[in-house]
Each structure stands twice: as structure tokens, then as C-alpha cells.
Structure 1
Amino acid sequence: MHTDPIADYLTRIRNAVRAGHRIVEVPASNLKKEITKVLFDKGYILNYKFDDSTPQGTIKIALKYHPITKEPAIVDIKRISKPGLRKYAKASELPRVLNGLGIAILSTSKGVMSDKEARKLNVGGEVLCYVY
């Protein structure tokens, strides 16, 4: 049986948002840290903290909600490229999520970034997930 740590990471965030939690803890890895930084830069999460007290380490993510309506910033977060079927996109064929309202997170040769940054740098890569 193969495991998919990125799918587990996204599922933990999705479940915490649906349950209305303020903070979610996930096991750390370099790729998960980079995805967390992209989510923070694009305004989908409030804050994050890398805790390296254990050998693997953890990531504490503070989820973002609207102050009045309590609506979450992350409506849905969906895994695209899976271990059984990888999805790649050329620089000219990068996906648009919700006609530009959401973001696609890509793993490129220049690091993990959003689809908008990849278009600016004219690089393609593996489409990890969609966030909106």
C-alpha cells in the first residue's frame, strides 16, 4: 500500500475547515512547508509555524475565517496530481482555477509556486492541487 502525504496534508486542512477549527497540525516535510508558504502568501491561511521539536517536525497552521460571517477563506482544496497518475502542465497550458479566482499550486523546476507566478516565469510543472 502506498501513501500520499500531500493528499493527507490537504485532507487535514479540508477537515479542519469544515469542522470550524482555528488551528490544524500536520506532520512536516519540505514540500508541505513550501505549499504552506504559498497558501500564506496568497491569503488562504492566517499564519503558520514550523515546529522542529520532534525528528520529523510539525506544521501548525492557523486557518483564516471572515470576521463577521465566519466563512472560511478556503472553500475547497483538491488534490490533482496523484501518485498513481501524475498531472503535468506546460507553461502555455497552465490551468485556470474558477476562471482566475482560485489558484493551482505547482511544483516546478524553480520551486513550489502558484499558477500565476509560473505564468510570469514561463515555467510548467506538476499540478499538485487546486485551492479556492
Structure 2
Amino acid sequence: MGRRILNDALRTIVNAEKRGFASAQLQPVSNVMASFLNIMKHRGYIKDFQVYDPHRVGRITVELQGRIKDCRALMYRQDVKAQDIEQYRLGALPTHQWGYVVITTPNGVLDHEEAIRQNVGGQVLGYFY
């Protein structure tokens, strides 16, 4: 188990979106994955998700909305300072209008807007748009 768990889960979501499925099953479960999905839900990219049996292998069922074009997890967690978050976002995302960069900070897992608002830096987990 490594960082590839999050990347595999996000690729499963993107593939299910492209095929027009209403939901996707993600296995195994991690707390970082649940935090990432919570940000996606809060920003309106997925409808809802349920975590089943998180203490064992477990699974997550994600209800899709059809808004996700791409989402990726970085295999290397890149450090980013609070003042450099906006410049990183401009380089990582294809447009200025939509999309979010997800960052793990001392205050928890946040998207780039919350991290700028709280003036904290951290490590970039991934992005979605």
C-alpha cells in the first residue's frame, strides 16, 4: 500500500465518468482518499460517497454527477508554500475558470482556495477539474 491507492481510485472515477456510469466502486480505502472525495463533494463534482467497512480492506461507493473531466494524484508529493499556491495552480490546471488543487496541510486536507484563505502551505496531493 502506497500512494498509488489514491491514483488508482481517481483513475477509476474518471473512467466511470467517461463511460457514463452513475456510480463507481473504489477499493481499498484510505483516509486521504476519503478526504479527497469530501473536497470533491463539497465543490460539487460528485453527488455523494459512502465508506463501507473502513477497518479492513473496505470499499467506497461514489455517486457520479458527470462533471469530472480529469483528476490525478501526484506520485511525488510536491511541497508548496502558501504564497506559491496560486502560481502552482496556474501551471497544473488547464484553465483559470475551474478546477481545484488538493493540498495536505497542517490544518488537514484542503483545496487551494481554502489553503490560500488560511495562509498555509503543504504538499500537493493531486488535482481535479
Whichever residue aligns with residue 74 of structure 1, its letter is: I
Q: CA deviation at 1:44?
A: 0.4
Query: 1:55 Cα deviation (Å)?
Result: 1.7
TM-score for the superposition, normalised by structure 2: 0.85
Q: Percent identity?
A: 29
Aligned-partner Cα distance in 2 for 1:116–1:54:
31
Cα 1:3–1:93 change in 2 (3 A) is closer
Equivalent residue letter for 2:79 = Y
AA aligned opposite 2:117:
K
Matched residue of 1:129: which SS? strand
After TM superposition, the runs of 4+ consecutive aligned structure 1 residues lying more than 3 A away are: none
Q: 1:87-109 CA deviation, whole Å, 9 max, x = no partner?
A: 12110001333225110011111
Which amino acid in the other structure matches residue 29 of structure 1? S
The amino acid across from 1:13 in the alignment is I
Q: Secondary structure at the match of 1:99?
A: coil
Give the RMSD, CA atoms, in angstroms: 1.7
Deviations 1:97-129 (A, max 9, x none): 322511001111111110000001111111111
Question: 2:84 maps to which residue?
Answer: 93
Q: C-alpha offsets along residues 33-80 of structure 1, whole Å, 9 cap, x if unaligned?
A: 11111110010001111111872211110000xxxxxxx21111123x
Which residue of the partner structure matches residue 12 of structure 1? 12
Aligned to 1:75: 69
Structure 1 segments unaligned to the other structure (5+ residues):
65-71
Residue 23 of structure 1 is matched in structure 2 by 23
TM-score, scaled relative to structure 1: 0.84
* Kept in 2: contact 1:29–1:56 (CA 8 A): no
For 1:86 and 1:113, how far apart are their aligned partners in 2? 14
Instruction: Give the partner amino acid of 1:130.
Output: Y
Counterpart Cα distance in 2 of 1:3 and 1:43: 25
